[in-house]
């Protein structure tokens, strides 16, 4: 994780995970927006571009709205932003379940991101072939460099991106960046970035907001390492920890004794 002036607010939980609790929902979304803007500026200044993988879910949607609204849209040099997705549902881009469509509808379609820099996952057909093409595309566009930022959520069953408990995508070979994944629980195909791809990224944020996330958050941060049961546990490495960004409602069951400080972005 690139270090910024909030690094003293971060609590290390284990050798792969850190947590920050910026405050209630509003403060936490504001923190996430500010983090995106800071990372984009930093990466564009350092390397000339900002390659980010977006995710689906309700929190990213709020962040996307905030980023593309009047207050924040001029704070990012969008012409230098390259958009990928961390996962996608097996639906066409105009379907309301599409993660691509969600980002566009939440305001990204109004930003001056060059069309040639927007790479949606084509998960609605030939998922195996299109997953291979997507990983080739990432390598080509970034010349083998890692993504700058991966934005993730966590489901109540511990899934992240479309890495669901006990599914095949959790066990693919180390060289795969993107794979198709059948999810029996919801009887559908998904396309998803793998641990290899996510854990190579320069920065990884996991958003956990709202009371509905309190139970799973407590489990994944306190239970022994078992990513087959809790896939989110496999995100983050000892060399490059993943940052959970948690609001007060989601944090209620985290051990009070851990002494989590609060911060503003
Ligand atoms: C998706 C996501 C998925 C999501 C979690 C959390 O395609 O749905 O990528 O992994 O991030 O399910 O979603 P919420 O933030 O809506 O709870």
Residue that is written with structure tokens 């290899």 in the block: 196
**Cβ atoms of 167 and 145 closer than 8 Å:** no
Where residue 262 falls (left for φ over 0; alpha for ψ -120 to 50; beta otherwise) is: beta
Question: How far apart, in whole angstroms, are the C-alpha atoms of residue 131 and residue 110?
Answer: 27
Going by the DSSP 8-state scheme, the letter that residue 125 receives in this structure is: S
Give per-residue pLDDT as tens, 88-133.
999 999 999 999 999 999 999 999 999 999 999 999 999 999 999 9
On the question of pLDDT at 14 being above 70, the answer is yes
Q: Write phi, then psi, for 155 (nearest 5 degrees).
A: -85, 165
Q: Which of 150, 155, 159, 181 to mutate to test the pocket of ligand 1 (most atoms within 8 A of CB)?
A: 155
Tokens read off for 157: 């069953």
Q: Residue 162 C-alpha to ligand 1 middle, in angstroms?
A: 8
How many A from CA of 160 to the centre of ligand 1? 7
Each residue of 174-203: pLDDT tens digit?
999 999 999 999 999 999 999 999 999 999
CA distance 117 to 50: 10
Question: Residue 60 Cα, ligand 1 centroid: separation in angstroms?
Answer: 9
- Region class of 241: left (phi > 0), else alpha (psi between -120 and 50), else beta: beta
Model-level pTM? 0.94
Give the residue-averaged pLDDT of 152-163: 98
| E runs forming strands in the chain | 11-12, 17-23, 50-54, 81-85, 87-89, 149-153, 178-183, 188-193, 204-208, 242-247
Pocket test for ligand 1, best of 25, 63, 153 (most atoms within 8 A of CB): 153
Question: Considering only CA atoms, which residue is closest to atom 11 of ligand 1?
Answer: 153
Q: Is the pLDDT of residue 264 over 50?
A: no
Cα–Cα distance for residue pair 205/22, rounded to 1 Å: 13
Q: DSSP secondary-structure letter at 147?
A: P
Angle, CA 34 vertex, CA 31 and CA 36 arms, to 5°:
110
Euclidean distance between CA atoms 66 and 145, whole angstroms: 28
What SS3 class is residue 191?
strand
**Region of residue 166 (phi > 0: left; psi between -120 and 50: alpha; otherwise: beta):** left
Quick one: CA dihedral 26, 40, 170, 191, positive or negative? positive
pLDDT digits (tens, 9 = 90+) for 198-256: 999 999 999 999 999 999 999 999 999 999 999 999 999 999 999 999 999 999 998 65
Residue 145 has pLDDT above 80, yes or no: yes
Q: How far is CA 91 from CA 54, 55, 99, 171, 187, in A?
A: 17, 15, 9, 24, 14
* 50 backbone dihedrals φ, ψ, rounded to 5°: -130, 110
Q: Which residue in the block uniquely carries the two structure tokens 């998922």?
A: 127
Q: Which of 52, 55, 152, 188 to mutate to test the pocket of ligand 1 (most atoms within 8 A of CB)?
A: 55
CA of 209 to the centre of ligand 1 (A): 11
The residue contributing the CA closest to ligand 1 atom 13 is: 57
Higher pLDDT, 262 or 221: 221
Which position has the token pair 């905030």?
A: 66
Q: Quick one: tokens of 49?
A: 């571009």
Which residues have any ligand 1 atom within 6 Å of their CB? Answer: 55-59, 87, 99, 153-155, 159-161
Protein residue whose Cα sits closest to atom 16 of ligand 1: 57
């Amino acid at each position: 994780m690139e270090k910024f002036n909030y690094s003293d607010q971060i609590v290390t939980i284990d050798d792969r995970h850190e947590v920050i609790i910026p405050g209630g929902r509003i403060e936490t979304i504001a923190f996430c927006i500010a983090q995106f803007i800071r990372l984009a500026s930093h990466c564009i200044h350092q390397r000339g571009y900002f390659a980010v993988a977006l995710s689906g879910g309700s929190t990213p949607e709020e962040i996307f709205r905030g980023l593309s609204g009047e207050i924040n849209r001029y704070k990012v040099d969008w012409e230098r932003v390259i958009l990928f997705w961390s996962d996608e549902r097996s639906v066409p881009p105009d379907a309301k379940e599409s993660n691509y469509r969600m980002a566009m509808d939440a305001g990204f379609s109004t930003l001056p991101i060059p069309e040639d820099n927007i790479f949606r996952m084509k998960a609605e057909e030939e998922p195996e072939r299109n997953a291979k093409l997507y990983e080739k595309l990432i390598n080509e566009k970034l010349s083998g460099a890692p993504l700058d930022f991966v934005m993730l959520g966590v489901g109540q069953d511990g899934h992240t991106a479309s890495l669901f408990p006990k599914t095949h995508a959790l066990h693919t070979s180390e060289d795969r960046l993107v794979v198709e994944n059948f999810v029996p629980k919801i009887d559908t195909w998904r396309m998803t970035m793998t641990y290899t791809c996510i854990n190579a990224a320069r920065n990884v944020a996991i958003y956990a907001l709202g009371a509905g996330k309190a139970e799973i958050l407590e489990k994944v941060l306190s239970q022994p390492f078992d990513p087959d049961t809790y896939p989110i546990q496999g995100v983050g490495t000892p060399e490059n920890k993943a940052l959970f960004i948690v609001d007060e409602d989601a944090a209620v069951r985290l051990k009070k004794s851990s002494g989590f400080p609060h911060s503003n972005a």
